[in-house]
Structures are given as structure tokens and as C-alpha cells.
Structure 1
Amino acid sequence: MIICSGGSHIIWIAPSGGRDRPDPLTGEWHPAPFDASAVDNMRRLLEHSGVPGHIYPLSLLCYEIMPPPQQACQ
């Protein structure tokens, strides 16, 4: 919460755990199921920060520079 209350920060959050992965058989990418609770958690994070905040879907814009891994690491 300290980071949010200071303002002027970018926080990268992977909704649904960043689970968009290619199908192992076809190699085609499919988005993970939409998780409304992940979006609600981001909204609550902003509400409790005490300063104005904005949520932007950067994952589509950042795919070329930081694509998700082929498989999840445990």
C-alpha cells in the first residue's frame, strides 16, 4: 500500500496469474478465462491507496517486449 500512496508508480499485475499460454499440441495462444475477482482486487487497491490511480491493460501492448513464459514455473 505504501507504493500506491506515494503516486507516480507503475505496478504490473498479471490477472488470473498470467496464465495465458499456448496449447501444447497446436502452439496456438488462448487467453485464460476472465477472472472478475482479479479486476475487483485492482479496483480495491486503487480505492484504498488514498490517491487517484488508473488501470490500463498493458499486457497487449507489452507482449513483444515481455511475452508470458511457455509454461508456468512452480
Structure 2
Amino acid sequence: MAWELSDMDELKHAYQVVLDNNVEIAGFGDHGVTKGLYIRDPDGIEIELFIEAPEFEKTPLQEILTGGTLQGTTAD
């Protein structure tokens, strides 16, 4: 399942909500102009929260959201 968010600010907010609620982060996706945050629901089902962001094409999402740290991640 995937949910498209409106912009990077909304994805950053979603990332903070995920951290604040101890939601499992499965990884970060960089697919050209699409950036995705992968999380797991309580049943272990993976969910992608993504945006189309050509202005961030060359910057890894993990770097944008975490400042280059691994805060909150369980996988790369």
C-alpha cells in the first residue's frame, strides 16, 4: 500500500510523527524524482509514504529526513 503526500514538508512531518509514535521504519526509497518512506504497521505490513520531488532528485531521502543519521531506522 502506498500513500502519495503533497510535498517534502508533509513527508518530513510524517517522518516526525512516525518517530514520535515509535512506528517501525523499514527504509527509505529514492526512485529518481520519487522519494519514499517505508514503514510497517503493527501487523508488519509495509506501507510507503511518498512524494514526487524532482527538485530533490540528487539528494537521498534519508539525508533529507535525518540529516545523514540513522535515527529511527531499522533498515537502510
Same fold (TM over 0.5): no
The structure with the greater share of residues assigned to helix is 1
Q: Highest CA radius of gyration, 1 or 2?
A: 1
Q: Please give the range of the TM-score, normalised by the shorter of the 2 chains.
A: under 0.3
Q: Hey, which of these two has a bigger chunk of strand by percent?
A: 2
Normalised by the length of structure 2, the TM-score is 0.27
TM-score scaled to structure 1, two decimals? 0.28
